[in-house]
Structure 1
Amino acid sequence: PRLVAEVAFGEWTRDHRIRHSVFQGLRSDKPARQVTREVTSTIAGAPAKAAVATKETAMKKQSARKTDGLRITNAERVIDSESGVTKGELVAYYLDASKLLLPHLKGRPVSLVRAPEGIGGELFFQKHAKGSDMPGITLLDPSLDRDHDPLLQIDRIEGLASAAQMNVVELHTWNATSSAIDRPDRMTFDLDPGDGVDWAHMQEAALLMRTLLDELGLGSFLKTSGGKGLHVLVPIRRHYGWDDVKSFSQAVVQHMAQTIPDRFVAKSGPRNRVGKIFVDYLRNGFGATTVSAWSVRARPGLGVSVPVAWDELPTLRSGAHWTIRDAPERFGIGNAPWAGWERARKGLASPMKVIGFVPAAG
């Protein structure tokens, strides 16, 4: 080797690779032959946590770094006091997760949740922009959402880095692609627990939701929300517009609430769901979004929304089963739990008849 680079990183993997690497620059003052791997040693009598702290502070040394050619400012700034995660670590996570995350973002309008002062400060939800100097973030045709500034789309890793540099913590996507924005290609059911709902009831609710969808002939896929709840997603064919898809999803939720009223409610609002679960169908309307798989959540602990197989549901501890700290351990499994997504895509005509729903489109 002829060049020496300085790289901050989160940890060494078992196969001797570095995880969450952040390029800090080339070193002209150190010959390559003098570079050796540092080995952590434990000082006698020192707490065992000292070695763990080493990897957690490895990415907090400088206030400005370069990642994939993008200058990251204030990289050492802590964005979540509970976990101690820094802005630099957030950028590194999104770059590390990009191969898994981008397939969920590509071709879809994206909304951004920004936390300029960290998640303890004011959060900003952004769907549109007049202009963008962020590399990799595309401004879409204004006609897609009339009377508004252009919608945003992220299809490349540069867009993820740019978003994180601009203090974006969460990434949300539409239920339609920008190329066919008037025809949703999926439905989302957000299981949102009210006060007093224990986790076992959330797991049961997800299974009941799946059972009903199965009876309607619809395949469903599960992911953690990264927060309190669970998300059940259904791939559909682009046969209907937003109003019909939203109204049909509402009919499904109302059926659940009428059939099992001690578990489910079909009305939003905290007073309506004390001790019960609101299955949010409102995510299925035009312009509504849901946090993307592999997105971090702007909540204490920085949970991550992760795709899971249905047979993994009993093993989940909460909707924030994974956080930014340990979600990379899931990268090996990645999107495999959703491998049957395209094969499961069905039309809604038959399910609508089964549940007695008549679309406005006829």
Structure 2
Amino acid sequence: MASSQAVEVQVGDRAVRVSSPDRVIFPQLGVTKLQVVEFFLAVGDGVLGALLDRPTTLERWPKGYFDGAVMSTRADSHGDAFYQKRVPRGAPDYLRTAQIAFPSGRTADEVAPSELAVVAWAAQMGTLTFHPWPVRRDDVESVDQLRIDLDPQPGTDFDDATAAAMHLRDLLDELDLTGYPKTSGGRGLHVFVPLAPRWSFAQARRSTIAIGRELERRLPDAVTTRWWKEERGERIFVDYNQMARDRTIASAYSLRPNHRATVSTPLDWDEVTSVHPDDFTIRTVPERFAERGDIFAPLRADRDPALDCSLDAALELARRDEEEHGLGDLPYPPEYPKMPGEPKRVQPSRAKDRDRP
């Protein structure tokens, strides 16, 4: 039974109250809410660096992760966990926010962490995974990170994602882009690129499509950019829509809701093909962080501008795809309004059925 006796955790000059500290969050490991908070403090410089001044959606599991736990959806809000896109009630007075606009045109004030106490407060509220936008609170229209999601499809796994990532690294080098890989915490791999903060969401997404298409040309049997699942086959999907507005990726050092309590963990390129996601958990990552420090420091919002890259070469690749190969835009996610230049947002098998006499 969870203890009703709250405790206070000192985070810098702040005292963060943790209610029900003995509540079990990961039953198979016996990990409590207090231990989740302590984990985020142990990797504090890294997780704060990943979130610093970025509007951030909180993935909250207030009851913990357990067998049968489900995420709330738009259609059914009765799940055990949910995405918190607006600042929750009772937020501390030191919390900073950023106003962001959704594809629908509606706006919201999101948490924009500026100090580690905010991370600890969010963890005490049941947050396991942080989903920061690739923008900074002082300019929410300018993308300063390119995020490439290598998503294994059925029949493929993490090893297939890492094999594709090594080819992706070479391609990024050719485009004068410096990539930094991390595990997703699941079966996939993420590669982030620090950008000079002057690019729009449309430019970042267009660049990601061009990079994905070039990787697909080089590895046609291993990589795909096909949006419709029925067309992907047993290949790694380059999820270009992760660069669309309001689509986010789990931050570095976020916990993932699974029985193993895995952590989305930054990697050096020379270890990408020799590790497994289960190597990085709430139990193992604090020691790794203490030894290695924050490998994702070059992605921080307060990084040295000399680390920033340009999308010029990637956008030139996109231009050539369009003008020389007739390759235009690709479908947006279903909740988006119809976008200029977007092809029909119809599942291919259904489109063929409609064309039959």
Q: TM-score range by the shorter chain?
A: 0.7 to 0.9
Q: Which of structures 1 and 2 has the bigger CA Rg?
A: 1
Q: Which residues of 2 match residues 270-281 of structure 1 at below 5 A? A: 270-281=229-240
3-state SS of paired residue (1:275): coil
Match of residue 139, structure 2, among 141, 157, 180: 180
Residue of structure 1 equivalent to 2:8 = 66
**Alignment of 1:76 onto 2:39:** no
Q: What is the aligned residue count?
A: 300
Q: Which residues of 2 match residues 191-340 of structure 1 at below 5 A? A: 191-268=150-227, 270-318=229-277, 320-331=278-289, 332-336=291-295, 338-339=297-298
Match of residue 351, structure 1, among 311, 314, 317: 314
The CA deviation string for residues 172-212 of structure 1, in whole angstroms up to 9 with x for no partner, is 11111111211101110111111221433222111011111
Amino acid at match of 2:201: W
Residue of structure 2 equivalent to 1:24 = none
Any gaps of 5 or more consecutive residues in structure 2?
Answer: 70-79, 323-327, 330-357
Q: Which residues of 2 match residues 83-232 of structure 1 at below 5 A? A: 83-120=29-66, 121=69, 122-129=80-87, 131-134=89-92, 136-141=94-99, 147-232=106-191
Provide the rounded CA distance (Å) in 2 between the counterparts of 1:99 and 1:216: 30
The CA deviation string for residues 297-352 of structure 1, in whole angstroms up to 9 with x for no partner, is 1222111111111011132123x430001101111212146559754422222332
The verdict on how the C-alpha distance between 1:297 and 1:198 changes in structure 2, with shifts beyond 3 A counting, is closer
The CA deviation string for residues 12-51 of structure 1, in whole angstroms up to 9 with x for no partner, is xxxxxxxxxxxxxxxxxxxxxxxxxxxxxxxxxxxxxxxx
More displaced 10-residue stretch of structure 1: 74-83 or 203-212: 74-83
More displaced 10-residue stretch of structure 1: 270-279 or 174-183: 270-279
Alpha-carbon contact 2:102-2:246 (below 8 Å) kept: no
Alpha-carbon contact 2:49-2:297 (below 8 Å) kept: no
Alpha-carbon contact 2:172-2:178 (below 8 Å) kept: yes
3-state SS of paired residue (2:143): coil
Any gaps of 5 or more consecutive residues in structure 1?
Answer: 1-59
Alpha-carbon contact 2:97-2:137 (below 8 Å) kept: no
Alpha-carbon contact 1:245-1:284 (below 8 Å) kept: yes
Provide the rounded CA distance (Å) in 1 between the counterparts of 2:100 and 2:190: 30
- RMSD of aligned alpha carbons: 2.6
3-state SS of paired residue (2:276): coil
Provide the rounded CA distance (Å) in 1 between the counterparts of 2:187 and 2:92: 32
TM superposition score normalised by structure 1:
0.75
Superposition deviation, residue 90 in structure 1: 0.3
Superposition deviation, residue 144 in structure 1: 9.3
Provide the rounded CA distance (Å) in 2 between the counterparts of 1:199 and 1:131: 39
Provide the rounded CA distance (Å) in 2 between the counterparts of 1:274 and 1:77: 42
Amino acid at match of 2:263: V
